[in-house]
């Protein structure tokens, strides 16, 4: 490069420098499970705005630990797309910024997912707003239904129908099973088993998570329903020790008639198993009705960040119709009920079922969710694993012990 070119380059650099200096950015972390839609939405925002989001994808299982270490060292990101069930414990630990004013200033605040907002609220202040969503649903194999003489276009609508359909599918062969669930996975069962209880009028917690109600009639009924199917051989042997590895994969083999699953399965089945014909319906209660676990992420902001205005810009974009459409196309349900149908237009029609399920979706509230529910060694998972695969007379004692164990952890955390 000769001197004249160098001088010209320096002049250009000086001329464009002021505009670059005005651009600002904020840092955001997201878990690897969300990498597809998080990357897309951040790229779209960065392409259309002078201000930028610096996204870092963190391995899902390490996000909490990494965030804690970064927070202790003063290098936490400005914002975080956080598995919504962690919002109460993060807020209780004083890590998050109160964003009540920001949330309530959004004109579509009332249309945002209520379940997300309920776990995003701690002591009447909002610390997390909905960002991505995943609802639980029931899926059935249409080909196996047809072979078993069932109507392939009609999914079961109550427990008796699930059982009857599963029995018919089981008659198709020794390696074909009527029903599948991951029997050693707390996270899978809070997502797909609790809705059966909710839709039957029961719950596993009372008093906003302060009381465990595991030993209650609706829970007993639901456990007896699963246990009966296990005892009668409608569920494969491997379900007992499945820690979630086959939560999706078992149904994808094409040898399972019915399985509770999540909205994520629609995209995954369509892209990875295009020849598998399946239907999607609501998770029903004992006598009908419907419910769902409202999963996904809350958007939270680290306490003390100076980038709140910039963060609001990004949220506005994510909540806009193009933002919600982009999320829907890449694996997340819309979190704004008022534009959900528009955002899902043109996509697989089966997405409308989980989108509607989100409206009745619930998320349990607990500051010790990880200890109680997610941990493979926690009381939720060990209790269910015990009662699902034992005998009917063991249910009462098993659930009573489980309730005591859960209550002990809740009480310890409250001290």
Residue 397 binds other proteins, judged by CB under 8 A: no
Minimum gap (Å) between residue 387 Cβ and other proteins: 11
- Select from 23-31, 154-162, 208-216, 384-392 the region that touches other proteins (CB under 8 A): 384-392
State which residue, 254 or 376, has the beta carbon closest to other proteins.
376
Total residues binding other proteins (CB under 8 A): 31
Minimum gap (Å) between residue 243 Cβ and other proteins: 5
Tokens linked to 373: 């529910």
Instruction: State how far the alpha carbon of 28 is from the alpha carbons of 8, 78, 302, in Å.
Output: 37, 6, 10
d(CA 359, CA 212): 25
Residue 287 binds other proteins, judged by CB under 8 A: no
Residue 65 binds other proteins, judged by CB under 8 A: yes
Minimum gap (Å) between residue 236 Cβ and other proteins: 6
State which residue, 29 or 314, has the beta carbon closest to other proteins.
29
Residue 157 neighbours by CB distance under 10 Å: 17
Per-residue x/- track, 177-216, other proteins (CB under 8 A)? -------x--------------------------------
Per-residue x/- track, 220-259, other proteins (CB under 8 A)? ----------------xxx-xx-x--x---x---------
Residue 291 binds other proteins, judged by CB under 8 A: no
E-state strands within 17-149? 25-31, 52-58, 79-83, 121-122, 125-126, 128-141
Minimum gap (Å) between residue 233 Cβ and other proteins: 10
E-state strands within 302-403? 361-362
Gyration radius from the chain CA atoms: 24
Residue 50 neighbours by CB distance under 10 Å: 11
Q: Are strands 25-31 and 79-83 parallel, antiparallel or unpaired?
A: parallel
Minimum gap (Å) between residue 68 Cβ and other proteins: 4
Residue 321 neighbours by CB distance under 10 Å: 12
- Backbone φ/ψ region at 123: left (φ over 0), alpha (ψ -120 to 50), beta: left
∠ CA 139-145-148, rounded to 5°:
150
Residue 95 binds other proteins, judged by CB under 8 A: yes
Residues binding other proteins (CB under 8 A):
64-65, 67-68, 71, 89-90, 93-95, 184, 236-238, 240-241, 243, 246, 250, 368, 370-371, 374-378, 382, 385-386, 389
């Amino acid at each position: 490069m000769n001197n004249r070119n160098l001088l010209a380059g320096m002049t250009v650099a000086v001329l464009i420098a002021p505009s670059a200096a005005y651009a600002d950015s904020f840092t955001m972390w997201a878990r690897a499970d969300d990498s597809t839609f998080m990357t897309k939405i951040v790229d779209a925002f960065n392409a259309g705005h002078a201000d930028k989001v610096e996204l870092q994808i963190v391995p899902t299982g390490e996000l909490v630990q990494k965030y804690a270490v970064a927070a202790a060292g003063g290098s936490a990101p400005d914002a975080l797309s956080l598995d919504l069930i962690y919002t109460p414990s993060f807020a209780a630990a004083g890590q998050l910024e109160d964003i009540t004013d920001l949330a309530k200033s959004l004109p579509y605040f009332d249309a945002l997912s209520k379940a997300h907002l309920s776990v995003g609220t701690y002591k009447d202040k909002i610390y997390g707003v909905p960002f991505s969503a995943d609802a639980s649903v029931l899926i059935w194999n249409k080909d196996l239904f047809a072979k078993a003489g069932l109507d392939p276009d009609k999914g079961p609508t109550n427990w008796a129908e699930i059982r009857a359909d599963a029995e018919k599918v089981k008659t198709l062969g020794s390696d074909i099973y009527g029903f599948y669930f991951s029997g050693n996975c707390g996270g899978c069962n809070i997502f797909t088993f609790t809705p059966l209880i909710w839709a039957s009028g029961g719950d596993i917690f009372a008093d906003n998570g302060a009381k465990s109600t595991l030993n209650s009639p609706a829970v007993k009924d639901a456990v007896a329903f699963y246990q009966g199917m296990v005892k009668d051989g409608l569920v494969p042997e491997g379900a007992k020790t499945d820690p979630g590895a086959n939560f999706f994969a078992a149904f994808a083999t094409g040898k399972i008639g019915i399985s509770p699953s999540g909205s994520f399965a629609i995209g995954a089945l369509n892209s990875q198993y295009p020849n598998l014909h399946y239907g999607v319906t609501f998770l029903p209660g004992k006598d009908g009705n419907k419910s769902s676990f409202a999963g996904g992420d809350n958007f939270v902001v680290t306490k003390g960040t100076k980038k709140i205005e910039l963060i609001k810009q990004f949220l506005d974009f994510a909540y806009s119709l193009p933002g919600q459409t982009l999320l829907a196309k890449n694996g997340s349900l819309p979190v704004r009920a008022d534009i959900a149908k528009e955002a899902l237009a043109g996509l697989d029609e089966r997405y409308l079922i989980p989108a509607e399920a989100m409206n009745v979706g619930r998320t349990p509230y607990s500051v010790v969710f990880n200890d109680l529910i997610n941990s493979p060694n926690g009381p939720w998972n060990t209790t269910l694993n015990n009662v699902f695969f034992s005998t009917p007379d063991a249910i009462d004692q098993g659930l009573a012990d489980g309730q005591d164990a859960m209550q002990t952890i809740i009480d310890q955390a409250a001290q």
